[in-house]
A and B are shown apart, each in its own frame.
Chain A
């Protein structure tokens, strides 16, 4: 069907929603819900392939994590008391339904004994008898005083660079190879190890301190039937502990009993996942009654081995011969805080390092920066160069030896023969073969700094410095959430400067994820308030002389308000009443009554896990249906000032297959009603179409309007249950919820039996506001040549309209929309689209690259593709075509995407191009994508900290991505690129100077430069300036970079570090080394200069030259830069003077002697000038006659042409970014 559609449509197309329902079942599964997005992180359709393959519980992939995160949202409210007061039956509870929304394979699996840990409740001795479980003492610290040295060294030597260091140092210890003194040769390695060790030791000390504090906290433990305080570290698995309100959990425990008679405990998991709302956890009915008074309880818990999944728990408990199943809603994890519950008692199941909090306590995965990867290829070139130098030296040494082999015995400067002992044996001579080998190894030792080991350390320091400035940037501080920018990965700073693709989540990333109720369609009537006279009304009611009002104000439609106030008097009023009753009741929100400073006013705070539900409940409250109490058995709703009690008879959780939830209420008028709320796609299929066709049609029309306004829509339906129906449902529900095997599927079946033939009540439209600055941010990103892909679970219309409002799509763009329901049609659409996009590019008169790397053309193309099509595309040969198409588009909008598809899309791009990808998201569903991308950015938003935990960088708002990438990324990239090249150059100059000298020593690797000086060269003489410049230099000001995002293209074109620059630098290096070496050589030719004096001249020449070279390239001179560069030169002089003031060295007093002659100073001057002329000339010519954008912007910055600059820029098409030739 898709192929028949016009492919290119100038305006957003609204597909017939019916088309979607008729899609095959398989599709339906993969199609994310659209209507009820809030309750789950926006889309979480379960992948059919995934759930079938998902047998291994520890299948530790990111996709798995996303699946688990789905349950996270549902387990909190998984148990509902079914108390039918009218029947007078005693309360029955069904626990841990949340566990069953796990993949079938999980819940069906019985825990086998070897996979389980057995816990005997209140019997720690027996529990720990067979296996010693971990105690509760935690150690985040890596080392102890004894293990510090070996472990730290072991860890440090994981780095190849250090091994190289070590091998060189060891080689140097062999007497035949001792080029440097023993102490000297270990110096660089020792220095580096020491610096790192001190850093590690300090960090570890801090961890020790916090561990100690934590381990010594007190908990109340049941010992001999009495609760006694015990230190945290002494807690054992199997013990029963009691937690008071506001206390923090010391370990993971299964709840046995709480102060609430129904066994509910509220916990805050902010320390665990960052979610600040309260979650409900339940104690099992069977254990509940036993606990408070008689301490004696015994039983056996069989639970899975410790794992990292904080949203999953699978266990069963045998108590009094009954076997109960335990799920995630029965366990409270370490680090949670008990809230709103006086006490809770539980049995420890995981302690110490086995707790989920500790298992999750690992750092971000380490990534390697692109620049570093490139750098490694150059390092290989340098090593080959090193080997070449060494081969030259050893071959020459061999030739020399063979030429002189007759003379060696008596040669005064060789004296092979040892005459001191009779027999005249050879002294220290092992034949020409060995001598050549020694020459080779010695030259490796002498030329070792050709491989710039210090570069790795410098890079680390520079990255720490850069991170410091990124964290301290006031422009990346989020006032609203008080969150600073976080640098979680320290080794990919410079990757931020080369990002070509940005993959963004929508909800919570582009939008605030703060839902606001906007409009409603009730019985086919649209109440959207005409968009103008909406006003915020603070609704409040009087309860027992106190004013109670909702925490949030909602914009209301006056007409609707009027109708709802009339109550049930009119037919209209009744419909509206039912609608709002559904909104107030059909949810899992917990109302909390909070005191305010004014004693007569109380505020109702609705705590819930879904922002959508919160918005709906606040809306209902404002219209007079205020939810004021929820217990496990009933809810109390204040309807227009009249308190009414509803019994919650049953509740069917939201799940991503049904995409709806329902609640069965026993109303005060003794009727039993089922309220259903869900996504339009699934709701219309369960609505009784024979009833009210006109209303259904009107509602559908309204839904389309809403979603084209960018609103999130939900449809609400209702049905009355007759007594027999209820009985039937009740018994099957009970059966299903006690089933041990396949509970989730059974429950789903029960739910669908009751969720049918609904009478439609209406639909709601909820606005998710764009975050501040998002349109501007996206425009900046697009202008900078970055391709922005938005991946959302929303409906296509919603996505497109958000696209427009966030300036992702503009009216200038041609949209290519692909919605296909089969592989064939998908292929056809893609092929047509590629032809089309090619045509567009050629029409624009620019020959596009076949590889599609440029979207040059006056008509930018936007691709809109939905998740259904992606099912066919991903992991098939169509990927290539999609990539070809997408690379021509400046914007790609993927709607109705499932989390695993997000990662798939990122992977698709990552595999096919070398361009850098950045993924940004806020929720658990973005984790896979964040980990897949080269750079992962987490938004610490409403949806918890999962994304942040998985990310490399975390920040508070989407708009910070602009300063992050365009400003800091650009700076970091430029700095790092320059620093790497400079370090190569700096070390190579030194090596070449040493090499030239070797040619004058009959290839015996004598160094004129003092061994101390040559070791200090890369540690002291030249290291500080490059680090300072690497941290502080700025090629352009922040303002310019933000004003002209195109300047970011420098990173895409790899302007700061590429093979050409490398080779040019090496050529320059060659010349400079010639200048440094040969000027003094010829100036002192045929003179009486001694080796140390000339060595001093050379080392000073090199250091000054290298530092002045750096000075020439510094763009921005602050006092720190001055201090570093000139300070280094001065420090070098001081060091050389100190070394030459030691009478035990052969160079004693050489510097004073040589520096007293004019020739010395003339040589230094000549070295610097002659060495730098080529570079200076090339730099000037390049900057003046072939200026890069950055150069021009710099000039404009300095000479104040910025205004003029701006005018021209606006006139130009901002999206163009032709490849530079």
Chain B
């Protein structure tokens, strides 16, 4: 378009093209096609009461069962949450938890007893839950080097890892960055009736992470050797792809309260069993007012224990049914004939459409009450 406009007054230019355009003169007429005339076959849906009410009923009918199913699934999940950060500090350190946790001399072992409320079918997942720990903090999230994790060749690719990038002058830390540095290092041992429960720590990380994201030839180097120890140390002889705790930890959590998979118990736990947990309380969350909890949970098709989806579905479904019923009611008392020209603004004159509709509905209600012609106004469409 613009090009045409620009050249058209260029005088002779048009003169040269004149001969060709005159021969095409008849073809200058735009060709008719349904596309160019904007007349492609089309479906023109209109929100009729019938459609709207049906939609709401259908949504309600779908949502309410889903809601119930989710609620039941969530109910079925057995979950034990035990916060231990307070309890695992000896009484004499209650007012100086930081000193306790930072002191390498103190005894960090702590015993807790948990009662299984209901039978827990295996596998029982063991999570640790941290509160008020911003794994999604911008400084934290960025402080990692995915290249370095993946291959040994990019070992020195630590520019994004500051301030936990290199040790000394030129020795790169593998894995570098704040995330790896702050690796969670509490450990749990479980026993029921003095019989130790085996905790499986295999396959707790994603398979894709183990196989592609963390290299099997990358070994920890210079890790946690600096002045400030952030958390767990890693066995330098095991490649990163097998350090599953690290892999789990490095999948940064979305929210400041999060759980991470610690391991799995492959045996069923019976109701009222008393589980003894031996906790090595090493991880310092006391410096910033975090919380630590141990979570044992079974799983269902909906995941862990969470009533939210069920409640949400029931609410939405219920609302839809309620709306459907109110619209039916509205329709019965105040129907409007579709496409009625007398409602057009220029036909309506100054009469307010509401007063018209209301008047109309009064007449209708009278008819309904007195039973005259009431049948005509049943829900149509």
B288 lies within 8 A of A404 (CB)? yes
| Contacting residue for A1001 out of B11, B59, B136, CB 8 A | B136
Decide if A357 is an interface residue (CB 8 Å cutoff). yes
Decide if A385 is an interface residue (CB 8 Å cutoff). no
B1 lies within 8 A of A464 (CB)? yes
Decide if A157 is an interface residue (CB 8 Å cutoff). no
Once the chains are docked, how many angstroms separate the CA of A693 from the CA of B165?
A: 114
Residues from chain B with Cβ under 8 Å of A170 in the complex: none
| Contacting residue for B12 out of A248, A490, A1005, A1153, CB 8 A | A248
A271 lies within 8 A of B12 (CB)? yes
A1120 lies within 8 A of B13 (CB)? no
Decide if A1002 is an interface residue (CB 8 Å cutoff). yes
Decide if A363 is an interface residue (CB 8 Å cutoff). yes
Decide if B42 is an interface residue (CB 8 Å cutoff). yes
Q: Please report which residues of chain B, range 214-236, place their CB below 8 angstroms from some CB of chain A when the two chains form the complex.
A: 226-228, 230-231
Once the chains are docked, how many angstroms separate the CA of A1199 from the CA of B52?
A: 17
Main secondary structure of the interface of B (DSSP, over half): mixed
Decide if A21 is an interface residue (CB 8 Å cutoff). no
Once the chains are docked, how many angstroms separate the CA of A138 from the CA of B11?
A: 11
Decide if A430 is an interface residue (CB 8 Å cutoff). no
- Chain A residue with Cβ nearest B204: A1088
- Count chain A CB atoms within 10 A of each CB in B146, B227, B257, B341 and give the residue with the most: B341
- Chain B residue with Cβ nearest A408: B288
Q: Please report which residues of chain B, range 292-346, place their CB below 8 angstroms from some CB of chain A when the two chains form the complex.
A: 301-304, 306, 308-309, 312-313, 316, 319-320, 323, 327, 330, 334, 336, 338-346
B341 lies within 8 A of A1088 (CB)? no
Residues from chain B with Cβ under 8 Å of A418 in the complex: 162-163
B10 lies within 8 A of A138 (CB)? yes
Once the chains are docked, how many angstroms separate the CA of A319 from the CA of B66?
A: 101
Once the chains are docked, how many angstroms separate the CA of A334 from the CA of B9?
A: 10
Q: Mark B9-31, 1 if CB is under 8 A from A, else 0.
A: 11111111000000001101111
Decide if B240 is an interface residue (CB 8 Å cutoff). no
| Contacting residue for A414 out of B137, B228, B342, CB 8 A | B137
Decide if A174 is an interface residue (CB 8 Å cutoff). no
| Contacting residue for A210 out of B10, B49, B166, B253, CB 8 A | B10
| Contacting residue for A358 out of B10, B15, B134, B343, CB 8 A | B10
Which stretch of B32-40, B103-111, B190-198, B265-273 is in the interface?
A: B32-40
**Chain B: interface size category:** 35 or more
Which stretch of B87-95, B112-120, B205-213, B369-377 is in the interface?
A: B205-213
**Chain A: interface size category:** 35 or more
| Contacting residue for B212 out of A467, A1143, A1176, A1189, CB 8 A | A1143
Residues from chain B with Cβ under 8 Å of A949 in the complex: 9
Q: Mark B236-260, 1 if CB is under 8 A from A, else 0.
A: 0000000000000001111111111
Once the chains are docked, how many angstroms separate the CA of A471 from the CA of B140?
A: 57
Decide if B378 is an interface residue (CB 8 Å cutoff). no
A1148 lies within 8 A of B212 (CB)? yes
A1166 lies within 8 A of B340 (CB)? no
- Chain A residue with Cβ nearest B312: A1166
Q: Mark A1005-1027, 1 if CB is under 8 A from B, else 0.
A: 11010000000000000000000
Residues from chain A with Cβ under 8 Å of B156 in the complex: none
Residues from chain B with Cβ under 8 Å of A1120 in the complex: 40
| Contacting residue for A363 out of B5, B31, B44, B208, CB 8 A | B5
Once the chains are docked, how many angstroms separate the CA of A699 from the CA of B70?
A: 98
Decide if A748 is an interface residue (CB 8 Å cutoff). no
- Chain A residue with Cβ nearest B301: A1158
B9 lies within 8 A of A357 (CB)? yes
Once the chains are docked, how many angstroms separate the CA of A1119 from the CA of B42?
A: 8
B346 lies within 8 A of A1046 (CB)? yes
A272 lies within 8 A of B11 (CB)? yes
Once the chains are docked, how many angstroms separate the CA of A1158 from the CA of B253?
A: 20
Residues from chain A with Cβ under 8 Å of B134 in the complex: 413, 1001-1002, 1004
Residues from chain B with Cβ under 8 Å of A357 in the complex: 9-11
Q: What's the least CB distance linking A202 to chain B, in Å?
A: 8
Residues from chain A with Cβ under 8 Å of B59 in the complex: 1169
B302 lies within 8 A of A1184 (CB)? no
Decide if A488 is an interface residue (CB 8 Å cutoff). yes
Q: Mark A402-413, 1 if CB is under 8 A from B, else 0.
A: 001001001111
A-B contact pairs, 23 of them (CB 8 A): A140-B10, A203-B3, A210-B10, A210-B13, A250-B12, A363-B6, A412-B133, A1000-B255, A1006-B137, A1081-B255, A1087-B259, A1088-B253, A1089-B258, A1090-B252, A1093-B254, A1143-B150, A1143-B213, A1146-B252, A1149-B209, A1186-B353, A1201-B339, A1217-B345, A1221-B352
- Beyond A358-B11, A410-B287, A1221-B352, 12 additional contacts (C-beta under 8 Å) are A271-B9, A482-B28, A1001-B256, A1008-B254, A1086-B257, A1118-B40, A1163-B309, A1169-B63, A1170-B312, A1185-B330, A1188-B345, A1217-B346
Interface residues of B (CB under 8 A from A): 1-3, 5-7, 9-16, 25-26, 28-32, 36-38, 40-47, 49, 52, 55, 59, 63, 66, 70, 127, 129, 133-141, 144, 146-147, 150, 162-167, 178, 181-182, 206, 208-209, 212-213, 226-228, 230-231, 251-261, 284, 287-288, 301-304, 306, 308-309, 312-313, 316, 319-320, 323, 327, 330, 334, 336, 338-347, 349-350, 352-354, 357
